[in-house]
Homo-oligomer: A and B are copies of this chain.
């Protein structure tokens, strides 16, 4: 297991921006003694790689709601990086081990009452997660087996294909506006790429959480499947995508996503500063504190 958070994520994970045909290599970094690893579990994500199929599963298991904390994001990036560099791995299925929740999105406790340095580190980790997942060379399939608001929705949107459990009780969407905050431009870009401008404009302004059937209708998820068929369907989808030659598929994926990825890469520091100055506002801090209070009351 890797000591998380010892170094700022961005320092020892190689910068995103390489061509898809040149996968980055952690092995080039002498300070990290990573053994090529076939199956590993850290605290918050269970990774299993089936070497015969070339398909790995990343199971988010950070109860109660798989919120994207700094630790979670760091572990996520490390796990993804390992798989990206593992020649035995060609595809990743992303799913949740927590009942009824895929991921609840960014961990609000990371955004409340912390230092400027902490906000910067946290935001850089959120960016890193998206840059790596949306730009991954592997085939990425999300099994959305529960609700998936805000950052959880982004996680799903960053995959190549989205299968959601056929249950109208579960919903998905970029509902940031409901919390009085604004989805960053690259959340928006990813959303527009999936559902088009008009649907995104309306959904983002209303902070909509779309029940599964609606999510499929607007193209936010690709398919609805009964709970018991999720795994089977994901494997079938994966087989379809892995039937393509990796190189051609990767270059095609890169061509489709490059403009939007490049935009964050070009404005990354600015985006961090924007986040810090926004989140540091007393009015926003107050909103978030109230929201957390509400969540606590709801629980008890």
Contacts and interface: CB of A to CB of B under 8 A. Distances in A.
Contacts of A244: 177-178, 205-207
A182 B219 contact: no
Contacts of A283: 247
A197 B198 CA distance: 12
Most buried by B among A177, A181, A205, A222: A205
Mostly helix, strand, loop or mixed at chain A's interface? helix
**Ranked 3 nearest A-B pairs via Cβ:** A180-B245, A177-B248, A201-B256
Most buried by B among A181, A185, A255, A257: A255
Q: Oligomeric state, in number of copies?
A: 3
B182 A252 contact: yes
Interface stretch (A63-71, A188-196, A227-235): A188-196
Given A193-B197, A196-B196, A196-B197, A252 B177 contact: yes
Interface string A198-209: 101110111100
Given A183-B252, A197-B256, A256-B200, A205 B160 contact: yes
B202 A198 contact: no
Contacts of A198: 193-196, 219
Given A160-B205, A198-B193, A205-B160, A182 B248 contact: yes
24 contacts: A160-B202, A160-B205, A176-B248, A176-B252, A177-B245, A177-B248, A178-B248, A180-B245, A181-B248, A182-B252, A182-B255, A188-B255, A193-B198, A195-B198, A196-B196, A196-B197, A196-B198, A201-B256, A204-B252, A204-B255, A204-B256, A205-B244, A206-B241, A207-B248
A44 interface: no
Nearest to A256: B201
A122 interface: no
Contacts of A178: 244, 248
Contact of A249 (B200, B205, B240, B245): B205
Nearest to A281: B247
